[in-house]
Amino acid sequence: MPKMSLPTFPKFDIHSDENSVGIRWTKYVNQLENLFVAMDISSKKRKKALLLHYAGEDVFDIHQTLPDTSAEDEYDQSKTALTNYFQPQVNREFEVFEFRQMKQLQEETVDQFATRLRQKSKHCDFADNDGEIKSQIIQGCTSNDLRRKALRDNLDLTKLLSTARAMEIANKQADKMRKSEETNAVRQKTFSEPNIKQSTSQSKERKKQKCRNCGGRYPHRSSCPAFGQICDYCKKENHFASQCLKRKTRERRKVQNVDENSASSSDGENSSTSSRSDDETTTKGAYSFGVKAKVHQIGKLPKTEIRLNDHKMKIIVDTGSSINIVEETTVNKMRNKPKLQKSDISAFAYGQKEKLRIRGKFSASVESKDKIVTATFYVVPGDYGNLLSYATAVDLNIIPVIQKVKIPKKELTEEYRDVFEGFGKLKDKRIKIHIDENIAPVAEPHRRIPFHVRNKVEEELKRLEQQDVIEKAVGPTPWVSPIVVAPRAKNPNQIRICVEIRKAINTKSKMNN
């Protein structure tokens, strides 16, 4: 007779979760019967033998103790007996509790979440199964948009699942489009650097058209409205508070630039950039304070790899910079060259007063290993390196923001082990209790100790004696106080021993002040 090789099938674990043993047994039998169909096994005798073989030794021992299971060919009878044995252990209230605690997992779709809920609800005996599943989806789903939609439109379970599928597909398609599309949707402009003389003459004309005392148009048709008026800020005459020079000077943000002679004279040094707004009186400037490095130290700069406008590039992470800077040579290498928009800031090299030439700015998608964001980059000529600002680096999860450092308890106890081990004592001090000799000693009777804690009391007394906390009395003693046994609050399995001394000490002793 040829040998028969049985396929592998897991045994039934009775003790893994005793609260759900009945549910797990029903599922196990259904899976095993699917195997019988696949193997084309129809004999009830063979089914019973395979059931007891695959289920394992624990199930076999239980089967031997059950009544009406001795017949060899009665597979249905054995299955029913084992099911009745495990089924009473199904706790409906516990199943309902677990159903209420179910939440949608992070990478799980709403359909998958609904399937898990439906499987769990089989053992909850709900009157309205679909209604309970719908309520749990609304409470436990990860999408706030779906939750608002369900609460607003009062959807049933079928419409809720259909809406969830449509929203999930739309989100995936939108993410895919966002990654592939060109993010800088600025209209094309012909950018040219302004003529310095022309801008200077225009600014002079603007200044001539504005009165420095009242802020109105100049020249006036009649006398200046501010003439003879007292400023509310400096209390001087002939100007309004809005045009007070003293007030403007105080409100203007002052930036102290620290110049280093060695930095300006040494060769081969790179300076990070700082930028400020053209109108310092109305808007706050953007500043960048980077790290200087000599040529042979460039490799030590904090560089990372990103994809800017779908172009792979290396960039220096500058936590002191508030703007992103990219070289013009890098922009020219891009396959999808961005369209530049006129810059609205003035950039300065660190510690310098001369403006950097900015070709323009553009907005584009920036991708790191963990995240994709949209950021604005300023294009400068030359080959001085690309800079990634602090804000963009944080948005891309390149730089973590740490606000609080926690020291694990285990590390502290290991480092200061001598403080946390042993029994705490007051060293080099001997205490004497002063007792009035005229009062007769009190010996209180021993209190009965509960039987179930007597062994623990003996162990605790031995431990305290070994640690030199207590001493064994030898011979008769005039003062005797009973002990009181109490469980520890944090660990009820342990006890602590107290002494009842109200009669013996508190009323008979005199403390030495």
pLDDT class for 296, splitting at 50, 70, 90?
very low
Tens digits of residue pLDDT in 336-345: 888 899 888 8
Q: Answer yes or no: do 59 and 76 share one domain.
A: yes
**Cα dihedral sign, 167-168-169-173:** positive
Tens digits of residue pLDDT in 202-249: 555 554 578 888 888 788 777 788 887 888 888 888 888 888 888 777
Q: Answer yes or no: do 321 and 386 share one domain.
A: yes
Tens digits of residue pLDDT in 148-180: 888 888 888 999 999 999 998 998 888 888 776
Q: Answer yes or no: do 281 and 332 share one domain.
A: yes
Q: Answer yes or no: do 211 and 271 share one domain.
A: no
Residue 418, domain member (yes or no): no
What is the residue-wise DSSP string for 380-441?
ESSSS--EE-HHHHHHTTSS------PPPHHHHHHHTHHHHSS----TT-----EE-TTSPP
- pLDDT, residue 68, reads 67
Residue 142, domain member (yes or no): yes
Q: How far apart are CA 481 and CA 497, in angstroms?
A: 12
pLDDT class for 184, splitting at 50, 70, 90?
very low
Q: How far apart are CA 84 and CA 275, in angstroms?
A: 79
Residue 407, domain member (yes or no): no
Q: Answer yes or no: do 301 and 386 share one domain.
A: yes
Q: Is 496 helix (H, G, I), strand (E, B) or coil?
A: strand
Q: Answer yes or no: do 356 and 327 share one domain.
A: yes
Tell me: pLDDT of 268 over 50: no
For 345, left (φ over 0), alpha (ψ -120 to 50), or beta?
Answer: beta
Question: Max Cα separation, the chain?
Answer: 126
Q: How far apart are CA 50 and CA 84, in angstroms?
A: 19
Residue 305, domain member (yes or no): yes
Q: How far apart are CA 261 and CA 55, in angstroms?
A: 84
Q: Answer yes or no: do 486 and 506 share one domain.
A: yes
Q: Find the angle CA(117)-CA(118)-CA(123) to the nearest 5 degrees.
A: 95
Nearest CA to 60 among 72, 71, 51?
51
Instruction: Report whether 373 contacts 179 (CB < 8 A).
Output: no
Tens digits of residue pLDDT in 303-346: 889 999 888 999 999 887 878 999 988 888 888 888 899 888 88
C-alpha 341 chain-centroid distance: 38
Q: Answer yes or no: do 76 and 109 share one domain.
A: no
Residue where a domain stops, chosen among 89, 118, 142: 89
Residue 419 corresponds to which tokens in the numbers above? Answer: 């403080």
- pLDDT, residue 183, reads 47
Q: Answer yes or no: do 340 and 449 share one domain.
A: no
**Cα dihedral sign, 123-126-129-133:** negative
What residue numbers bound the domain in which 112 lies?
92-180
Residue 338, domain member (yes or no): yes
Tokens 């009965």 -> residue: 448
Residue 65, domain member (yes or no): yes
pLDDT class for 439, splitting at 50, 70, 90?
confident
Residue 413, domain member (yes or no): no
Q: Is 161 helix (H, G, I), strand (E, B) or coil?
A: helix
Q: Answer yes or no: do 448 and 475 share one domain.
A: yes
Q: Answer yes or no: do 367 and 469 share one domain.
A: no
The domain total for the chain is: 5
Residue 3, domain member (yes or no): no
Q: What is the DSSP letter of 12?
A: P
Residue where a domain stops, chosen among 165, 180, 195: 180
What is the residue-wise DSSP string for 175-212?
HHHHHHS----PPP----PPPHHHHHHHHHHHHHTB-T
| CATH code for position 457 | 3.10.10.10
Tokens 């109108």 -> residue: 279
Instruction: Report whether 9 contacts 54 (CB < 8 A).
Output: yes
Q: Answer yes or no: do 83 and 99 share one domain.
A: no
Instruction: Report whether 479 contacts 443 (CB < 8 A).
Output: yes
pTM (predicted TM-score)? 0.29
